[in-house]
Amino acid sequence: MKFRILDLFCGAGGMSYGMHKNSNFTTKIALDVNDKLAQTFIKNMPDAKVIIGDIRDKKIQDNIVDLSIKNKVNMIIGGPPCQGFSLKGKKLGLKDPRNFLFIEYLHIVERINPEVFVIENVKNLLATSNGWFKEQIIKEIKNLGYKVSFGIVKASDY
């Protein structure tokens, strides 16, 4: 099976680049708010259509969904910002608005209804705010009708 990917919070393209190591994966659309990171993504993945903008913007979301439908996207990948969950950050938990961007990610999942999606973050997301974020993410994914599997992997192994 071939997977056509939408990469949300794409950054410089690390996740897509890793997926492309397998010929069954190709990134069609990508989104990031950071223009400099997106420029690096464009150099790494020249065949993907890159949108630079805020995922919370309705016009940006509509554009991404339209492009994804046109490109028959059947997989979404992405890592919403991890700074709010990082052990090195300020640990603001429920008071850090970046920690809620997973909601926007899941809204796009709901609209596109891909066969599969991968949401990635740092290990501390599991414990932040006594596990509230982990539980909310799992609950929302199940509400969308998907099965949930999660775990901790060592990035250097991949």
- Please give the positions annotated as active site: 82
- The residues that bridge with 77 in the sheet, in sequence order, are 7, 118
Tell me how far apart the alpha carbons of residues 18 and 150 are, in angstroms, rounded to a whole number: 19
Residue spans of alpha helices (H) in 22-127: 35-44, 58-70, 102-112
Tell me how far apart the alpha carbons of residues 77 and 14 are, in angstroms, rounded to a whole number: 11
Tell me how far apart the alpha carbons of residues 33 and 37 are, in angstroms, rounded to a whole number: 8
Q: Is 63 exposed, middle or buried (0-12, 13-18, 19+ CB in 10 A)?
A: middle
Contact between residue 123 and residue 82 where contact means Cβ atoms under 8 Å apart: no
